[in-house]
Amino acid sequence: MSKKTISPESLPYRPCVAAMLLNRDGHIFVGKRIDQTLEGWQMPQGGIDDGESPSDAVFRELKEEIGTSNAEILREHPDWLKYDLPPRLVGLSLRGKYRGQKQKWFAMRFLGQDSEIDLATKNPEFSHWRWAPLEELPSLIVPFKRDTYAKVITAFRDLAKPA
């Protein structure tokens, strides 16, 4: 019996949101993923539920992933940014239903205290977190997301400064 090969082009992109969450010092929240064999850090992101607006989804995702949504939207990226999964992950990652993700990105300011951030959520995604300077982001991110992150950094660079 042969293994069925999935053609990435036959799969859609998963619609989701993502947040560049900035603290008062202009540093960005990154979390270390718990489900990867390679060390991978990322900014909060997740799917958009049926009937949910992207702005509602980004606040829900913050609450689900970092335990707080105490933030305000500073700017929304004008485009939907896409990335493709590496071929080895197509059919496995994202429940096997998507070739990658199309993301609506938001720059957000964290309004709370670090003590409000709690990774021990109902379905934890991160094992560790920290605030990183903007310049460090590309080196922390898994390679297949770096082009998307470069576009986000370019669009929101001016916001990554002390409030």
Query: Is 2 a member of any domain?
Result: no
pTM: 0.90
Residues 17-40: pLDDT tens digits?
999 999 999 999 999 999 766 678
Question: Is residue 37 one of the residues assigned to a domain?
Answer: yes
Handedness of CA 82, 83, 87, 93 (dihedral sign): negative
Give the domain CATH number at 108: 3.90.79.10
The domain containing residue 71 runs over which residues?
11-159
Contact in structure between 57 and 17 (CB atoms under 8 Å)? yes
Domain-embedded: residue 66: yes
Residue at 1 is within a domain: no
Establish if 40 belongs to a structural domain.
yes
Q: At residue 2, does pLDDT exceed 50?
A: no
Q: Cα 141 to the chain's mean position, in Å? A: 10
The Cα 29–Cα 58 span in angstroms is 14
